[in-house]
Structure 1
């Protein structure tokens, strides 16, 4: 019954936003109105409702701005960066580590820096989260050896985070575990069915995948990600920081005694240098001028302030965003 309700909630969100965009080659215009699309992630995560929240706010003033914003469910951060750079998307939600890597030409963009990538603002914190079945015996990272673990689909930011922490802990994802490449929306059911022992998901909390996975018949728990491996990652990479998963208040079905330590990144809103200043300015203005309304749209936004929404950005600010931030005194 809970799974049915979860599906109905997702469908209601989609219907309420009315914003599922189709993939397109370039920004479209009709009668002087510009249509732009935000790339998000899977519908059970936080990226999709985040894109919906942004589009909902801007579309309230669609006539004033001659602008219509739609959202598209995508494979995640890597896909969004590449689609922005190719012109298939105008905007995308991207993990802060992936923004850093893309602009500087490392990881998936090794030797190919995406110098037209532009930052707009940052959004919610995202914790690298590991959920395991109680009968798997997985209580720490070291216990993952020999287990079937979903590390995330290719093109997702979480896959890179999972590989980073596994390698830091001395676990080779190619040989020490049986690594699966599922989307998080699939992983919850696979864990409950016993087809995987655990799965990683980098996401804001609460979210639908973990709610589904912690509401089934199989008992599950969040695994702490802490110790020397995390200390090393946080010291080496500027986009990582320690964080806490608020288990007790969000996932009563999990068998943890309390909240769980881990590390994470931030979700960021990105675009291309080719997107017009007016379009970017309009989006930033509507979100920041109505930040309290925006924060009410999802629990993951509760910690947001105008000031911390400029943290975690490594690509240059888009001029449209910079114009707004200067007008309101957030930057000089």
Structure 2
């Protein structure tokens, strides 16, 4: 009997201890709801997909990766890629978390149009726009090409497969009454394009990138560069039909040019996976826009938070919106 009396309190104590343990574990189970520093949903590693090594995305991506790593404690790696269209697919497939893209390509992806026909990408949002991406029709003085019409019958690179340069080239040719059938189309990266121009295997190349573009600068060291101008009436027609274009120019002195050259541009932007939490994207956005002084590329001077909400074309991630709201910057809903 005494043994029974002793056993009953022991059982009650054991049950009570189990209840306390269960209650004590609840905060740990819910830790993932807090995405702040150390939260379960805060990733340890992120990837930024950029573009080819000869473009502007890659060096900027490397600078952003270092800044985000230093400011947030998340290890970030910049990866070479085929640029805009490929990057959107990479985000969709969950193989990266942050991507560079042209604003027009991001819009095509969200709408399921052009190269994304029947393949709409709906799991991405914008961090913001960065700088104009100038469309440069690159050739050399010895080619004799001085106008878009002169490209007829020539071997012309229209960008790497999956890049945003391809539709830019197609649309510019379109307003000049031409199609890809009027040229010997080559699908080459910027580095491959400038190498081809240098060795004579192609005549010209469309390059959509921030100026100065590394691959074109490299070519200018050995060749007299010509940037083919787009005339004002064609610029007006292009912007009227495709309003994500803006008027732009390649400044005098770039690639040793004697005079500025009229052309058009889209905008570079950063796109992010919707899988990233509001807190994480807020930290990323803040890290980038408050440390642009650490970006050594010339385009770093153009990257400003107050411009980041202009011409985005797709929804801005709630984390980025939170940052812009704190700064008093009106973000598109």
Q: Deviations over 1:161-202 (max 9, x none)?
A: 0111112211121x2111111111111111111111111100
CA distance in 1, matches of 2:233, 2:174: 12
Residue 130 of structure 1, aligned match among 131, 137, 144: 137
In the other structure, the counterpart of 1:271 is 272
Structure 2 counterpart of 1:251: 255
Q: Do structure 1's residue 311 and structure 2's residue 310 form an aligned pair?
A: yes
CA offsets per residue over residues 67-92 of structure 1, 9 Å max, x none? Answer: 11111000010010000011011010
The TM-score normalised by the length of structure 1 is 0.84
Alignment of 1:46-57 (within 5 A): 46-57=56-67
In structure 2, what is the Cα distance between the partners aligned to 1:83 and 1:161? 21
Q: CA RMSD, aligned part only? A: 1.9
- 1:86 equivalenced with 2:90 (yes/no): no
Contact 2:248–2:263 (CA under 8 A) maintained in structure 1: yes
The residue that corresponds to 1:206 in the other structure is 212
Contact 2:127 2:285 in 1 (8 A): yes
Q: Distance in 1 between matches of 2:224 and 2:253?
A: 17
In structure 2, C-alpha distance between the alignment counterparts of 1:112 and 1:304, rounded to whole Å: 31
Q: Secondary structure at the match of 2:197?
A: helix
**Does the CA-based 8 Å contact 1:36-1:68 persist in structure 2?**
yes
TM superposition shift of 1:228: 2.9
Q: 2:240 aligns to what?
A: 235
Q: How far apart are 1:214 and its partner, in Å?
A: 1.3
Instruction: Indicate the residue corresponding to 1:289 in structure 2.
Output: 290
On the 8 A contact 1:242/1:263 being kept in 2, the answer is yes
Q: Does the aligned pair in 1 maintain the 2:130–2:302 contact within 8 Å?
A: no
Q: Which runs of 5+ in 1 are unaligned?
A: 1-28
Determine helix, strand or coil for the equivalent of 1:302.
helix
2:159 aligned partner? 152
Q: Which runs of 5+ in 2 are unaligned?
A: 1-38
Work out whether 1:139 is the aligned partner of 2:146.
yes
Deviation of the 1:219 alpha carbon: 3.0
Other structure's SS at 1:156 match: coil
Greater helix content: 2
Match of 1:186 in 2: 192
CA contact (8 A) 2:130 2:304 kept: no
Aligned length: 293
Q: 1:302: Cα distance to partner?
A: 2.0
Separation (CA, whole Å) in 2 of partners of 1:111 and 1:240: 24
Give the conservation status (yes or no) of the 8 Å contact 1:33–1:66: no
- Residues 45 and 209 in structure 1, CA contact (< 8 A), matched pair in contact too: yes
1:120-143 deviation digits (Å, cap 9, x = unpaired): 111111111011122222110011
